[in-house]
Amino acid sequence: MSEEADRRPRQQRLLPVPIIPVVLFLVAPFALFLFTSPDLQLPRIRIEYGRTPSAERTSPPPVPGADDSDEETRLPPPRQLTDPPYSLGTTAVSGYDARRAKWLRDNPRFPAFVAPGRPRVLVVTGSSPRRCGNADGDHLLLRAFKNKADYCRAHGFDIFYSNAVLDAELSGFWTKLPILRALMLAHPETELLWWADSDAVFTDMLFEPPWGRYTAHNLVLPGWDDKVYAARSWLGINAGSFIIRNCQWSLDLLDAWARMGPRGPVRYEYGKVLGEALSDRPSYEADDQSALVYLLVTQRGRWGGKTFLEGSYSLHGYWVDIVDRYEEMRRRSRTPGVGGGGERWPLVTHFVGCKPCGGDDSSYDAARCRRGMERALNFADDQILNLYGFEHESLNTTAVRRVRNDTGGPLDADDVDLRRLLHPAFRAANL
């Protein structure tokens, strides 16, 4: 028994011995092939220390469909000078005023005037369908939209934001025209549409245009008669902030306006026409503002009578002359006897020449534009935050501080301006 027990351990120890030569015999030829074959590339591992991750690894992946060149390849061919004139929509709209009046009679729950003398207003704005080339640009566009939403909420207006190009022929400045036409036809309950560029900031959150002044007009533009009709200047108006009535006249104007906007040869040819007709405009491709001035100057009998050029308040305020004076304006408005009861400061601060999304065609330094927009947005935001007892520490920072404790009963606020902003429905009923 002890002999058998002693034999088993010896057998277990001896079993692995013949396996080693077999393994070497099988593995050696394969290893020799790996290290001697010139065509076989083995993966290499390199370990590095103390290096900053490369831009390729830290940048986000490209967004599908965001490539400009790819978008250009999918556009229809440009309209040629020999093609039929461009028209908004497949067919011209006729008899619109009568059909809209019938719709309003059939739908009394959606009146065009929410109170006597107070029209239903739709603020329209938008931006490019592509994201900005920098995060700052997207952030500024977000804050600019929030600014418009605040203003609309305070005054009981509707708002529509578009980041779609509805007609590939009308790109750039011209994108607003098919948007306005589509909204007019889809919202017969809307009496006035107020276009505001993405870089236009509402900076007097309390002021509201004097609607009664425009009863006999269909288009309200920031501008001056002498600069438009006498000087024939393309800068006599600004097309970045204007008010247009929902009616047949406006649809006809949009159609006449849009004929100068199709991209390609048509736009370039009309650019030459505008350069010759207007006093201070070079002959680059046609833009929407110059085209509108051209219509007013050359067809004043048709369009001028229903167009109101507003210069008594800042429907469009040039930002360069404004952004460094907000603190002074605020101090003056708090001084008894100063202000005269009109707008306390510009209703709109418009960042003309700035490109929040970036771009080579910006007329001003990007840092200067960004600083100015942030000051304008903070200035406007203070007027909203103040309703709830807060304001920014300064216009150069987003940090806020408490300035008042109204938790006891904001409905009983003694400040008339606060009551008007807190309760736009009450204000609408009393105007």
Residue 412 in this model has a pLDDT that exceeds 90:
no
pLDDT band of 31, cuts 50, 70, 90 = low
Residue 91: its pLDDT value, please?
A: 82
pLDDT band of 431, cuts 50, 70, 90 = very low
In 3-state terms, the chain is what percent helix, strand and coil (to 5)? Answer: 45, 10, 45
Residue 98 in this model has a pLDDT that exceeds 80:
yes
Give the chain's length. 431
Report how far residue 168's alpha carbon sits from residue 261's, in angstroms, rounded to the nearest whole number.
11
Residue 260 in this model has a pLDDT that exceeds 70:
yes
pLDDT band of 57, cuts 50, 70, 90 = very low
pTM for this predicted structure: 0.79
Residue 21: its pLDDT value, please?
A: 59
Q: Highest mean pLDDT range out of 187-191, 261-265, 404-408? A: 187-191
Q: Highest mean pLDDT range out of 25-34, 40-49, 103-112? A: 103-112
Residue 409: its pLDDT value, please?
A: 57
* Token pair 């929040």 in the structure block, residue: 356
Report how far residue 431's alpha carbon sits from residue 421's, in angstroms, rounded to the nearest whole number.
14
Task: Please give the sequence-ordered ranges of beta strands (E in DSSP) within 26-184, or none if there are none.
Answer: 113-115, 118-119, 121-126, 158-162
Residue 39 in this model has a pLDDT that exceeds 60:
no
Of the candidate ranges 18-27, 101-110, 176-185, 386-395, the one whose mean pLDDT is the lowest: 18-27
Residue 423 in this model has a pLDDT that exceeds 70:
no
Work out the end-to-end distance of the chain between its first and last CA atoms, rounded to an integer number of angstroms: 117
The pLDDT tens digits of the residues spanning 273-286 come to: 999 999 989 889 99
Residue 225: its pLDDT value, please?
A: 97
Residue 418 in this model has a pLDDT that exceeds 90:
no
Residue 68 in this model has a pLDDT that exceeds 80:
no
Quick one: average pLDDT of 142-168?
A: 95
Report how far residue 289's alpha carbon sits from residue 349's, in angstroms, rounded to the nearest whole number.
18
**% of the chain beyond a pLDDT of 70:** 74
> Taking all residues of the chain, what is their mean pLDDT, rounded to a whole number?
83
Residue 43 in this model has a pLDDT that exceeds 60:
no
pLDDT band of 342, cuts 50, 70, 90 = low
Report how far residue 108's alpha carbon sits from residue 159's, in angstroms, rounded to the nearest whole number.
21
Residue (of 96, 326, 112, 127) closest to 88 by Cα position: 96
**In the chain, what are the domains?**
79-430 (3.90.550.10)
* Token pair 């600019």 in the structure block, residue: 144
157 against 358, higher pLDDT: 157
pLDDT band of 55, cuts 50, 70, 90 = very low
Single-letter amino acid, residue 228: V
The pLDDT tens digits of the residues spanning 330-341 come to: 998 875 444 444
Residue 235 in this model has a pLDDT that exceeds 50:
yes
Six token digits for residue 149 = 């939403």
C-beta separation of 130 from 171 below 8 A = no
pLDDT band of 20, cuts 50, 70, 90 = low
Residues 6+ apart with CB under 8 A from 142: none
C-beta separation of 193 from 132 below 8 A = no
Residue (of 285, 300, 289, 309) closest to 238 by Cα position: 289
The pLDDT tens digits of the residues spanning 108-117 come to: 999 999 999 9
Residue 61: its pLDDT value, please?
A: 45
Residue 313 in this model has a pLDDT that exceeds 70:
yes
**% of the chain beyond a pLDDT of 90:** 61
Residue 185: its pLDDT value, please?
A: 97
409 against 45, higher pLDDT: 409
Quick one: average pLDDT of 187-215?
A: 97
Residue 18 in this model has a pLDDT that exceeds 80:
no
